[in-house]
Amino acid sequence: MKTNKILYFSGDDLRAILTMEKCIEAMATAFRALSSGQASMPLRTGLEMVADNATALFMPVYLPGIGKVGVKTVTMARNNPAKGLPLIHAMMMIFDSSTGVPLAVLDGEVITAMRTGAVSGLATSLLAKKDARTAAIIGTGTQGETQLEAVCNVRDIQKAYVFDIQAARADAFAAKMTRRLNIEVVVAGSAATLQNADVICTATSSNKPVFDDVYIKKGAHINGVGSYKPDMAEISPETIARAKVVVDQIEACLAEAGDLIQPIQRGIITKNHIHGELGELVTGKISARETDDEITVFKSVGLAVQDLITADLVLKIAQEKDLGTSLTL
């Protein structure tokens, strides 16, 4: 019997292989494929493990253009932080779509962080003002780090404010990202500091808006990436109502994005308020920013096509440079 060999990539492997610039380019490819009907991607399946206060998500996708099929599994165990364990664990698997042969297993947490940052970078490149110089990051986890890295990749950000309910985490984030990005990153002194931000990224697990609409200035761009369930929301309904809203996928956001579902249910907006999808921006089917005063919002719940295209990027680079750990099944 013939044995199968696959490549394994740890989180450290992925951090050494992937760059934000390449990931942003990959996101443009992914959303172009999605918008043109070249991706088969059902809505993710969620499994609530009530007895364990945990959730499991399963995200399959098929991209015939690259000859790959993949699935990412994510678990969120809400009791873990109290045990000194990470809240989220994730794993990505890739298969050759023509033969079904397994090709690689990858750390899903780094894949998720990089592709989530990269999609905000892509959206920011298309929607934020060209002269945006100041950013604000709400939430200081790994997602917050890649959000800021991606925004700095596409705009000449000079200063970033960081917001977090835990002061120590905010201080540590500011110091770390100042060193990494060589820009000024400071802890916000008050909620009103948000008025200075040209680009705002929310990366939290909040069930209620994390800012007041009065602090959003004309011309601001917002990336909302934290909420992924109907009962979660980070962005103020009033902000949603006065913004041009672009989403990663309309079907997914109308099923999962509390930032949109809740104001629709309250009659503040209708689903027709959604300007369109990111892939339509990439392909030029819909308009991007039209005035300097326009407020723009990109809402993402995260799509499997992002994971597969990022994993495929890893595989291509690894094969060129003979990277990854070979495992025999």
> Do residues 224 and 301 touch, judged by C-beta distance below 8 A?
no
Residues 292 and 183 in one domain: yes
Considering the domain boundaries, does residue 119 fall inside one? no
Considering the domain boundaries, does residue 117 fall inside one? no
Closest by CA to 262, choosing from 202, 207, 183, is: 207
Q: Is 53 left (phi over 0), alpha (psi -120 to 50) or beta?
A: left
> Do residues 250 and 277 touch, judged by C-beta distance below 8 A?
yes
C-alpha to C-alpha distance for 60 and 114, rounded to whole angstroms: 18
C-alpha to C-alpha distance for 166 and 171, rounded to whole angstroms: 9
Considering the domain boundaries, does residue 122 fall inside one? no
What distances in angstroms separate CA 164 from CA 50, 197, 211, one per listed residue?
28, 16, 12
pLDDT for 219-256, tens place per residue?
999 999 999 899 999 999 999 999 999 999 999 999 99
Domain residues for the domain of 105 are 5-111+305-328
State the total domains in the chain. Answer: 2
Residues 76 and 87 in one domain: yes
pTM for this predicted structure: 0.94
Low-confidence ranges of the chain (pLDDT < 70): 1-2
The predicted pLDDT at position 2 comes to: 67
Considering the domain boundaries, does residue 189 fall inside one? yes
The predicted pLDDT at position 329 comes to: 84
Residues 145 and 290 in one domain: yes
CA 142 distance to own-chain centroid: 11
Residue 275 in 3-state DSSP? strand
Q: Which amino acid makes up residue 188?
A: A
Residues 17 and 166 in one domain: no
* Neighbour count for residue 102 (Cβ, 10 Å): 16
CATH number at residue 312: 3.30.1780.10
User: Which tokens sit at 290?
Assistant: 């039209």
CATH number at residue 255: 3.40.50.720
